[in-house]
Amino acid sequence: MKLFEKTLNILQSGVMILDDELNIVFINLWLQKAFAYVDAQPGENLLSLCPELKGRRIEASLRQALDSGLPAVLSPVLNRSPLPLYHNGQSQAEPFAQMIRVQPMREEEQNYCMLEVQDVSSVIRRERLLNEQADKLNQMALTDELTGIANRRHFNSLLEKAVASTIDSSQSLSLIFFDIDYFKPYNDHLGHQAGDHCLARITQHLNDILKGEGYHLARYGGEEFCIILPGVSPAQATVLAENYRQNVERLAIRHPASSVAKVVTASFGVSGFNAGKSDTFTGLVLKADNALYRAKMSGRNQVIQACLDE
């Protein structure tokens, strides 16, 4: 028996044996030290030591084991810290996360139950870190590296959801495509680093505006970008696009190779989704892209709205 107790006392987990009145029959050293503000000794009653356990899931599990002989497991997902246990027995902000197993026992016509406690804090921290890393990787997969806004893959997902929501609600949906005017000559004259800085500055400025309005900005490719506007009609979107065009121009980013202005400008194309009129995701994108093409062919630095019957 002494060897058995020695074995239990060197375990890096807790073991407690309770009788049918929830009196402590045995408790190993690890668990004894983990109780921060109670002296858990053999002969003490667990509920007297920790009255906060009364009526809780852990008491019900102990009663179930003693009265019905049924084991139980209290996972940290639903029962994070059933017992007031702390690392090194020092009371901190909250008890450490625990995995608890309750096992019924019977000896000499007497019912007992064994409480096994494992500290799973490190496991939970590792899972949290892995989840954070996974979230970060997912975010990176959906984010344009240069500008920090949604990339084309994310744009497709956002637009698909917006189209589905529009079909369900029969509300408006508009899409804006815009392109930086004469961006290749800009790069040729000032270098790609300046070009990257130009794109980042414009998208950051517009994204700050759009986030406040609840709209989504994404990089479609190269110097071409798109804005998804749920609940906005094409006429309203055209007004907004003109505002965004002016915002780009007001940034006053010097453009020594532009044929339309001394500063960087942008051309905009606007289209709308006609729910219930056999319009499609692809059709919405093509209409916006065609409208952008007409804006560029018509002199750039302007907004063109796609015809309703396109």
Same domain, 244 and 180: yes
Element (DSSP H or E) covering residue 291: helix 281-297
Domain, as residue range, for 286: 142-305
Concerning whether 242 is annotated as a catalytic residue, the answer is no
Instruction: Return averaged pLDDT per consecutive 10 residues of the chain, 310 residues in all.
Output: 62 88 93 87 94 93 95 86 82 82 92 93 85 79 91 94 89 95 95 95 95 90 95 95 97 96 97 80 93 96 83
Q: What is the CATH number of the domain that holds 91?
A: 3.30.450.20
| Residue 310 within any structural domain of the chain | no
Same domain, 41 and 170: no
Q: One of 223, 224, 249, 310 is an active-site residue; which one?
A: 223
| Residue 132 within any structural domain of the chain | no
Same domain, 158 and 287: yes
217: number of Cβ within 10 Å:
24
Q: Tell me, what's the pLDDT at 295?
A: 97
Same domain, 71 and 168: no
CA 162 – CA 152 distance, rounded (Å)? 15
- pTM over 0.85? The answer is no
Q: What is the CATH number of the domain that holds 259?
A: 3.30.70.270
Same domain, 91 and 172: no
Burial (CB count <10 Å: 0-12, 13-18, 19+), residue 25: middle
Total number of domains in the chain: 2
Same domain, 103 and 159: no
Rg (CA), the chain: 33
Same domain, 114 and 205: no
Same domain, 280 and 173: yes
